[in-house]
């Protein structure tokens, strides 16, 4: 028992030592795992047919996916070899009589078991936990929301899913989200339940209804931290934008947060040339990652990433246009 414990402890220490060396060799000076990125990119694009990630957290997701698959590949090969060896070694002709003692020397299996444990602990502790902590970091999300209200470097965006499209709402020029009223909410032209023009002409929120075409896409700036608040009007959907590596359930009654930032350094054209100029834009497909009814397969939308200056102009114009629309609509109603 004591001897087994010593062997196990030594194996664990050796495993940890090797693992720390391997992990450290993959880090650059700033502590990020960028040294293996060309391999990660190659695997994600050629093997998993995934578009390159345009966010920093997206690269962490990809690195983890590649590491997990690597570990599974090693286990698969290891177990397959073990299976064949056992089939051959314990064939009936070689051992006609059953051995009730079993295997006596266990050093090899102990080492293998500890090796797997060490690899899994590293995947969880070095990649999965920090990644998740970053994605759900409430402090960071609050910071983005505050920056959005103060019209600084941050954008809060509300996403509303319904059968079968995606809708979005921006705070508008005042930086404040208008009140929502359940009695005004409908699945047609007012899913967010904003006050109608006759009740309030000061609401300057910009609403994108059913972002099913590229001309009516949900527009976001790159190089600006963005906090989403995602909810649903009917059943459970899931907001998924693959190049952002963002996937979050939208659940009726819950407002789930997630944040991301599109990095201009990752924005490239088909020939891998940088493409993040003032007039450039990148359109990404939004899909629903949760079976939500018979129109689930067609529940797509578009998200358009543009230069921050272009976004500011777009939002300003849209928000001012909304006020004008409301005043016009109220005047028309009054003159009836």
Nearest residue (CB) to Cu ion, 144 versus 211: 211
Q: Is the peptide bond before 319 cis (omega within 30 degrees of 0)?
A: no
274-293 residues in contact with Cu ion (CB under 5 A) are 288, 292
- Around Cβ 325, how many Cβ atoms within 10 Å? 12
H-helix segments, 103-220: 107-122, 129-135, 138-149
Least Å distance, CB 209 to Cu ion, is 16
Asked if residue 237 binds Cu ion (CB under 5 A), the reply is yes
C-alpha dihedral, 231 to 237 to 242 to 248, nearest 10°: 50
What residue ranges in the chain does DSSP mark as E strands? 155-162, 165-170, 206-208, 218-221, 226-232, 237-241, 246-250, 256-260, 281-288, 301-306
Q: State the minimum distance, in angstroms, from the CB of residue 290 to Cu ion.
A: 6
Shortest reach from residue 210's CB to Cu ion, in Å = 13
Which one, 250 or 319, has the nearer CB to Cu ion? 250
Judged by CB under 5 A, the number of residues near Cu ion is 4
Write the interaction track for Cu ion spanning residues 189-228; mark x where CB under 5 A is met and - where it is not. Answer: ----------------------------------------
Residues 53-112 that bind Cu ion (CB under 5 A): none
- Which residue number, 237 or 259, has a Cβ lying nearer to Cu ion? 237
Nearer to Cu ion (CB atom), residue 178 or residue 288: 288
Distance between terminal CA atoms of the chain?
A: 93
Please give the Cα distance from 34 to 54 (Å, whole number): 14
By the 8 A CB rule, do 12 and 122 touch? no
Q: How far is the CB of 60 from Cu ion (least distance, A)?
A: 26
For Cu ion, which stretch binds (CB under 5 A), given 39-47, 86-94, 140-148, 298-306?
298-306
Interaction between residue 299 and Cu ion (CB under 5 A): yes
One symbol per residue from 32 to 51: x for binding Cu ion (CB under 5 A), - otherwise; what is it?
--------------------
Report the alpha-carbon distance of residue 57 to residue 160 in Å, rounded. 23
Residue range at the interface with Cu ion (CB under 5 A); choices 24-32, 177-185, 229-237, 315-323: 229-237
Contact 278, 307 (CB under 8 A): yes
Q: Based on the shown chain and the rule CB under 5 A, indicate whether residue 233 belongs to the binding site for Cu ion.
A: no
**Least CB distance from residue 167 to Cu ion, whole Å?**
12
CB of 320 to Cu ion, least distance (A): 33
User: Starting at the edge strand that comes first in sequence, how are the strands of the sheet with 155-162 ordered?
Assistant: 206-208, 165-170, 155-162, 226-232, 256-260
**Burial of 335 (C-beta count, 10 Å sphere; 0-12/13-18/19+):** exposed
Residue closer to Cu ion by CB (options 118, 211) is: 211
Six-digit token string for 144: 């983005």
Nearest residue (CB) to Cu ion, 160 versus 206 = 160
Q: In this structure, are residues 256 and 136 in contact, taking their beta carbons and an 8 Å threshold? A: no
**Residue numbers at the binding site for Cu ion (CB under 5 A):** 237, 288, 292, 299
């Amino acid at each position: 028992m004591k001897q087994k414990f010593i062997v196990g402890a030594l194996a664990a220490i050796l495993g940890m030592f090797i693992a720390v060396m391997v992990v450290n060799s993959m880090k650059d000076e700033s502590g990020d795992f960028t040294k293996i990125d060309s391999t990660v990119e190659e695997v994600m694009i050629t093997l998993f047919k995934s578009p390159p990630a345009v966010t920093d957290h997206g690269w962490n997701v990809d690195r983890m996916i590649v590491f997990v698959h690597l570990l599974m590949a090693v286990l698969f090969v290891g177990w397959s070899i073990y299976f064949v060896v056992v089939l051959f070694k314990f064939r009936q002709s070689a051992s006609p009589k059953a051995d009730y003692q079993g295997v006596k020397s266990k050093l090899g299996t102990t080492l293998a078991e500890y090796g797997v444990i060490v690899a899994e602990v590293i995947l969880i502790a070095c990649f999965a936990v920090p990644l998740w902590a970053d994605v759900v970091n409430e402090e960071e999300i609050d910071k983005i929301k505050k920056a959005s209200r103060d019209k600084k470097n941050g954008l809060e965006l509300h996403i509303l899913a319904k059968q079968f499209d995606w809708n979005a709402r921006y705070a508008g020029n005042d930086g404040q989200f208008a009140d929502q009223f359940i009695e005004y909410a409908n699945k047609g032209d007012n899913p967010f339940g904003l006050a109608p023009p006759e009740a309030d002409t000061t609401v300057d929120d910009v609403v994108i209804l059913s972002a099913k075409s590229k001309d009516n896409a949900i527009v976001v700036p790159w190089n600006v931290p963005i906090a989403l608040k995602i909810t649903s009007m009917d059943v459970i959907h899931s907001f998924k934008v693959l190049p952002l590596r963002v996937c979050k359930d939208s659940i009726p009654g819950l407002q789930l947060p997630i944040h991301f930032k599109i990095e201009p350094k990752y924005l490239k054209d088909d020939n891998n040339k940088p493409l993040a100029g003032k007039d450039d834009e990148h359109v990404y497909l939004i899909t629903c990652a949760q079976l939500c009814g018979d129109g689930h397969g067609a529940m797509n939308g578009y998200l358009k990433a543009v230069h921050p200056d272009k976004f500011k102009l777009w939002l300003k114009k849209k928000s001012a246009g909304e006020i004008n629309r409301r005043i016009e609509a109220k005047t028309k109603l009054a003159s009836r």
